[in-house]
Amino acid sequence: MNRLGLKPIFSDRPNLRLFFISSKTLIICLAILLNLLFSSVRLIAAGVDEEFEQANRLYEQGRYTESAQVYEKIIKSGRASAAIYFNWGNALFKSGKIGMAIYAYLNAERLAPRDPDIKANLEFARKAVSGGAVLAKKNWTDIVRKLTLNEWAILFAITFWGLFIMLALCQWNTQYKNKLRFPIKLNLVLLLIFGFCLGLNAYERITNRIAIVIVPEGIAHQGPLDESPKKFPIRDGLEFTIVDKKGEWLQVVDNSNRIGWVKTNDVVLLPRW
């Protein structure tokens, strides 16, 4: 009551009833959302089980080429998981397509960067590439690559939402200002770290385009012409970083800093995203 004997229209106290309703609604909404999410996952996975089992069976029977084709069919249908890419890589490796196997393992690694099996097989395939060596990774990418781009994005989004929700609470009720001072600062620091890592990861994806040789034998030329002098031989599975592109030619650099032009048909490009 104010000095005029009237109930104040605006109050600093939060409307607790509103909070209770919101909490219940929030729980129901979350339950519905989770249900929808799992339903969509089930829907996406529907039909894959059978093909996945078929591909695995073919692999176990030693019919690696056919197995690889079935895995590829699943992936081409727009559905994938780290395990599907991994198994596809195995089938390709066993059928002698090391370049394509490395391509599949790299895709699997993007989805599950902490999976030791993927790392082991990728290293194994790279070792199997005659005359080739593992592309040197920059130091910071080792840390940033521990999580996927989406995981960094989710961490960024969580901290971003958390920060603004706490800031909003402080505006809703000034009593929260003191209580939330430390969490806000902590959240801000985390937001900066996650944002930095997300930015670095995205930057690396955008700037560091990888091409993998998929032909048994080939030649890197000095220029983007068939008539251009030969620079160095290339083999299935060698990995290059793309420097430039001209028509059907790519200028690439290998881990020995050798630069040459290769035909796009001789390599497969790791997608940017």
Partner 1 sequence: MNRCGLIIKSFAAILWIFAAGIHLFAATLTVSIDPPTVSVGETAILNLMFEGGVPDGNVKMPEVENLDFQFTGQSSRQIIINNRVSSQYVISYAVTSQKEGEYTIPSIVATVGGQRVASQPIKFVVAKADNRDIERFARLRLSVSRDRVRIGEPFYVEIRLLFLAMNGAEQPQLASDGFTIGKFAQNESHTIEDGRSWRLITLKTFAIALKPGDLTIGPASMKVTIPARLERNFFGETIVASWRTVILTTPSYKIKAEPLPSMDVPPQFNGAIGVYNMSVSVAPTNIAVGDPITVKITISGRGPIESLSLPEQPQWSEFKVYPPTSKVELTDQFGLAGSKTFEQVVVAKSTETRELPPFTFAYFDTDKQQYQVLKGPTVPLIVRPSAGNTIIFASTNTPSAVAQADIVHIKTRHGVIGQISPPLIAQPLFWTLQTLPAVAWLGLLIRRKRLDELANNPKLRRRLQSEKIIKEELKKLHQFAQEQKTEEFFAGIFRILQEKLGERLDLPAASITESVIDEYLKPAGARQELIETLQKLFFECNQARYAGQKNARQLNEFIPLVQKTLDLLSDFEIKKG
| Binding track, positions 85-124, relative to partner 1; x by CB under 8 A | -xx--xx-xx----------------------x-xxx-xx
- Closer CB to partner 1, 202 or 215, in the complex: 202
Question: Taking CB under 8 A as the rule, does residue 125 contact partner 1?
Answer: yes
CA distance readout (Å), 51 to 69, 118, 256: 11, 21, 41
Binding-site size, partner 1 (CB under 8 A): 69
For partner 1, the binding residue among 24, 73, 127, 185 (CB under 8 A) is: 127
Stretch touching partner 1 by CB under 8 A, among 25-33, 41-49, 185-193, 209-217: 41-49
Instruction: Mark residues 172-191: x for contact with partner 1 by CB under 8 A, - for none.
Output: x-x-----------------
CB 89 within 8 A of CB 125: yes
Residue 213, token pair as written in the block: 């040789």
CA distance 100 to 106: 10
For CA atoms 47, 50, 52, 58, the dihedral sign is negative
Tell me how far CA of residue 3 lies from CA of 7, 8, 42, 95, in angstroms: 10, 10, 63, 88
Site string for partner 1, 192-231 (x = CB under 8 A): ------x---x-----------------------------
Q: What phi and psi, each to the nearest 5 degrees, are found at residue 146?
A: -65, -25
78 touches partner 1 by CB under 8 A: yes
> Binding to partner 1 by residue 6, rule CB under 8 A?
yes
82 sits near partner 1 (criterion: CB under 8 A): yes
98/236 Cα distance (integer angstroms): 6
Choice between 119 and 209, CB closer to partner 1: 119
Task: Out of 35, 164, 216, 217, point to the residue binding partner 1 (CB under 8 A).
Answer: 164
CA 64 vs CA 27, 35, 177: distances in Å:
48, 38, 63
Q: Distance between CA 265 and CA 69 in Å, rounded?
A: 20
Q: What is the smallest separation between the CB atom of 247 and partner 1, expressed in angstroms?
A: 15
Q: Which of 54, 66, 75, 188 binds partner 1 (CB under 8 A)?
A: 75
